[in-house]
Amino acid sequence: MLTHIIGWAHTRFGKLEHETLESLTRRVARDAISHAGLEPTDIDEIVIGHFNQGMDPQGFPASLALEADRDLRFKPATRVENACATGSAAVRHGVMAINAGHARTVLVIGIEKMTASPAEDVRRALLSASYVAEEGTAGASFARLFAHIAETYFQRHGDQSDVLAHIAAKNHRNGALNPLAHMRKDLGYEFCATVSDQNPYVAPPLRRTDCSMVSDGAAALVLCREEAASVVPFSVGIRAIAQANDFLPMSRRDMTRFEAASTAWQNALREAKLGLQDLDFVETHDCFTIAELIEYEAMGLTPAGQGRRAVLEGWTTPEGRLPVNLSGGLKAKGHPIGATGVSMHVMSAMQLTGNAAGFQLPSARLAGVFNMGGAAVANYVSILERTR
């Protein structure tokens, strides 16, 4: 039995000064239910993906969705969290509720409000998704953790700084076409490749253009059982959703190989009875450009250590053999932690149904979504297919 996406909503990502956690939640809840052609009474369950870790004083947001309409009162609502993969964890929770027969329709919301918090609070919150006992030393940050990953990768496979600049430039070029993106500016390869006052090192060898942004935003999906999807004008089937977790300490893993990510990809493709070559595009978790590079290898696009081929030979551009991050990715679209995984599913559903205004890929039918929490610790892969 397939679970289907039959409606969605998505705010613009960015610094949303006049929005609150509650206002963003209300808006996407109402809009997603309306987009699905349903009434609030039709929703059986609500799942909220929200990371927070002190970035917002409202640490218990599950029932905020009920403020969207009084007919949502008394519906079961649950908040889930799994670091930067929180959004996909919420989607998976909704799928499991439907597959278990506990719900016919589920409203899934991903939400984060980050930019109102001091930078130090955001750094500390994000670092809590690492193995703090070893990796949370004074002055540590996620940028420095991924810089260490990049340094190790470079030592093994050669300096890839130009390759990372090409990834950043591609995602900014794509994001410039996405009206919902945080940064809608085509920065170009030369800017991304050059260390300057406008593009300084954040944590060498990672430059500012190699790092995703602190963002606010929300996204929502309405999921339903297969028989309910047969009466709506369009639907996107979730052919597979796989999760694979790895050890939390980076010291216990080869950080140049995202092995649990590879496992999640293999399991999802096996469940969907597809190969990577069958997909029309992928939305992947480019929290840092080095992450996207290693993810090419984890998904099986290239052998280990050869991800640069996909970049330098143009495989991942909109015109390439497997376009990656047509939305602009986390790099340009933005990365409000709890919203990210839901956003990736929304962006993919928009592509598959021909509704990705400005960045539409012609005739797309199958998509892959990869969302990870921590440094390749919690790994989720969804395979989506247009079914109506």
Positions annotated as catalytic residues are 84, 335
**Whose structure tokens read 């009920």?**
66
Please give the DSSP secondary-structure letter assigned to residue 307.
H
Distance of alpha carbon 213 from alpha carbon 382, whole angstroms: 24
120: exposed, middle or buried (Cβ count in 10 Å: 0-12, 13-18, 19+): exposed
Single out the residue of 21, 14, 43, 20 nearest to residue 30, CA to CA. 43
Distance of alpha carbon 15 from alpha carbon 19, whole angstroms: 9
Do strands 366-373 and 281-283 pair parallel, antiparallel, or not at all (unpaired)?
A: parallel
Please give the DSSP secondary-structure letter assigned to residue 217.
E
Residues 6+ apart with CB under 8 A from 109: 25, 28, 29, 32, 46, 47, 48, 49, 65, 90, 218, 219, 220, 342
